[in-house]
Chain A
Amino acid sequence: MKMKKFINDPESLTDELLEGMALANSDIVEVRGHMVISRALAGADRVTIVTMGGSGHEPAQHGFVGEGMTDIHVVGDIFAAPNPQAVFEAVKLADKGHGVLLLVLNHAGDMLCGNMVMKMVEKEGLNVKKVVTQEDISNAPRSNSDDRRGLAGAIPLYHIAAAAAREGKTLGEVAAIAQKYADSMATIAVAARCATHPATGAEFGDLGDIDMEIGMGQHGEGGGGRQPMKTAKETIEIMANALVKDIPLQKGDKVFVMVNGSGATTLMEMWILYKDCVHYLESLGIQVVANMVGEILTVQEQAGFQLNIAKWDDVTLARWNTPAHTIAFHK
């Protein structure tokens, strides 16, 4: 597949996209190097939230900086973790006297970075707690969650954690709320067409004309569930069924559902998939109380989507229904 992208120098992709993002959203964020800083940080008097991760997944995660979500996001190269020194600087900058929650998605580079940051944090005696999200069910069972990749499920968690911080909760309390959320959700992805790496032009996730792959990771790394394309309803049932079994969910439970488009899947398809998912869950007696449907954490021009389901209670729903004003998410 030939890469056809409107870019300039592959070496300056991240810098250029951040400049454009900042120009288009100067009322919400300020960009300093690879740090995306919420304009709400300056006046914050609460636990603050720092995230980190590679570019190439827009709007994630830099698009979720702002009131009601994250305070600073540190951006790495395309699909690569940022350097630990930059994240350490961000943590120090973010601290408004109530401590900092560092949220990390489980990928090799991000975890290495997060571990190095925590070492530096401990050396300086800073008040920081790290919570890792790892909810991809396709590569390991729940009992072996260290092997599970962190996918788009982290994004709604940012809003929940921010709401808890705004309530005046302590860092320990906010971290516990974040951890509980991380433990009560599951995600599975499917890919139908491959994408290209914008810096190298190299294709990843080759699937041919017939197949889709359930369990595809968010950088083109596989998941082993290759099979011929199915309908939206069939695909959703396979995926939702697996998530329901994993969390696990039962009749009477209330859930949040996310259909996260990978980049080339149309909103038309996402709405059809969401409808099928809601009906499927309703048939199991499970009520969908909130949702996110759209492009949240993409994989360049990959066709496919991630389905995320989280078990919610009324407290979580109340936190969800608080204001947020970020680049890609508003409430």
Chain B
Amino acid sequence: MSVTATFLADRFTSACESVKAAEGELTEIDSHFGDADHGVTMVKIAQAIEDAVKANSGGIKAMLDDSASAVMMINGGSAVPLWNTWLDGMQEAAPDAEEMELDDLRKVFAGGLKALSALSKARVGDKTMMDALIPATGALMADGGTAEEALDAAAQAARDGAEATRNFVSKFGRARSYGEQTLGTPDAGAVSMAYFFAGLAKK
């Protein structure tokens, strides 16, 4: 079953809208152990991706490449280089075409995670965006016979992963200095990633 550039653009736009709508929640979470700028930064990132997707007239690779480049220019928190690297990894693994198969979509997300894992040392349990992204990518690779089903599974896994961060002690970023006080609050980066995947699944 074919995954077209139009389909992907539509899903990415929905993902960006989902993140933007969550700005208040992300700010609130980040104000506990961060400096309350995650909401603002993620809105900048989501808008940059959305604008790049809208302006793109090339195929799938170009859409992801433009998104990565757009994010790279933003002045904001740590999310900027992390999201730029994720998108750039996706772009590298993407075909230079107007459509692809589910298998190719899986390679795109696998490429994104691989690139980000090389930059960020965080893994599941460290209470970062990786707590949502790693399970989401895993679910995308394994579940569903269509792109829609695979993205649905990924969204569910991302949401569960973000929720699970409530039970972890922060190991990275500013919050790390608070140690056990971080128990009970989810990680803002995991929550925003979960919103992105929810939008990809159009939920």
Which of B77-85, B90-98, B148-156, B159-167 has 4 or more CB atoms under 8 Å from chain A? B77-85
Are B36 and A81 in touch, CB under 8 angstroms? no
B142 at the interface (CB under 8 A from A): no
Q: Is the CB of A77 within 8 A of B119?
A: no
Q: Are B119 and A200 in contact (CB-based, < 8 A)?
A: no
Q: How far is the CB of A115 from chain B (nearest CB, A)?
A: 7
Contacting residues, chain A, for B33 (C-beta < 8 A): 221
B174 and A219 contact, CB distance less than 8 A: yes
In the bound complex, residues from chain A placing their C-beta under 8 Å from that of B72 are 83-85
Query: What chain A residues lie within 8 Å of B80 (beta carbons)?
Result: 83
Query: For residue A113, which residues in chain B have a CB less than 8 angstroms away from its CB?
Result: 81
> Within 8 Å of chain A (Cβ to Cβ): is B40?
yes
Which residues from chain B contact A77 at a C-beta distance below 8 Å?
37, 75-77
Query: Cβ of A224 and Cβ of B37 under 8 Å apart?
Result: no
A85 and B73 form a contact (CB under 8 A): yes
With A222-B177, A224-B179: A112-B78 Cβ-Cβ less than 8 Å: yes
What's the nearest-Cβ distance from chain B to residue A54, in Å? 9
B172's partner among A76, A81, A108 (CB-CB below 8 A) is A108
- Is A220 located at the chain interface by the 8 A CB criterion? yes
B27: which of A80, A107, A200, A223 is its contact (CB, 8 Å)?
A: A200
Contact with A along B30-45 (1 / 0, CB 8 A): 0101011100110000
Which residues of A91-142 have CB atoms within 8 Å of chain B's CB atoms? Answer: 107-109, 112-113, 115-116, 139
Chain A residues whose CB sits within 8 angstroms of the CB of B174 once the complex forms = 107-108, 217, 219, 221
Asked whether A202 and B178 contact (CB < 8 A) given A79-B37, A115-B119, the answer is no
Q: Which of B31, B76, B78, B177 contacts A217 (CB 8 A)?
A: B177
A34: CB under 8 A from chain B? yes
**B177 CB contact (under 8 Å) in A84, A197, A200, A223:** A223
Chain A residues, Cβ within 8 Å of B179: 224
Return chain A residues, CB-CB under 8 Å to B78. Answer: 80-81, 108-109, 112
In angstroms, Cα B173 to Cα A149, docked, is 11
Partner of A221 from B36, B82, B119, B178 at Cβ < 8 Å: B178
A-B pair count, CB < 8 Å, reads 87
Write out the residue numbers on chain A whose beta carbons fall within 8 Å of the beta carbon of B40: 199-200
CB of A14 within 8 A of CB of B75, answer yes
Given the interface pairs A113-B81, A200-B36, the reply to whether A221 lies near B75 with Cβ below 8 Å is: no
B77 touches A80 (CB 8 A): yes
Shortest Cβ distance from A216 into B: residue: B177
Known: A112-B119, A113-B81. A79 touches B173 (CB 8 A): no
A23–B77 alpha-carbon span in the complex (Å): 27
Shortest Cβ gap from A92 to chain B (Å): 16
The reply to whether A220 and B35 contact each other, CB–CB distance below 8 Å, is yes
Query: Does A162 count as interface, using CB distance less than 8 angstroms?
Result: no
- Over the window 132-168 of chain A, the binary record of Cβ atoms lying under 8 Å from chain B Cβ atoms (1 yes, 0 no) is 0000000100000001010000000000000000000
Interface check A82, CB cutoff 8 A: yes
Q: A residues bordering B, Cβ < 8 Å?
A: 14, 34, 76-85, 107-109, 112-113, 115-116, 139, 147, 149, 197, 199-200, 202, 204, 217, 219-224
Chain B residues proximal to chain A, CB less than 8 Å: 27, 31, 33, 35-37, 40-41, 72-78, 80-82, 84-85, 119-120, 172-179, 181
Closest 10 CB pairs of A and B: A221-B177, A109-B78, A202-B36, A108-B173, A200-B36, A221-B174, A112-B81, A80-B77, A202-B31, A77-B75
Instruction: Show 24 residue pairs from A and B whose CB-CB distance is below 8 angstroms, ordered by the A residue.
Output: A77-B75, A78-B35, A80-B41, A80-B78, A81-B81, A83-B80, A85-B72, A107-B174, A109-B81, A112-B78, A112-B82, A115-B119, A116-B119, A139-B177, A147-B176, A199-B40, A200-B27, A204-B36, A219-B35, A221-B33, A221-B175, A221-B177, A222-B181, A223-B177
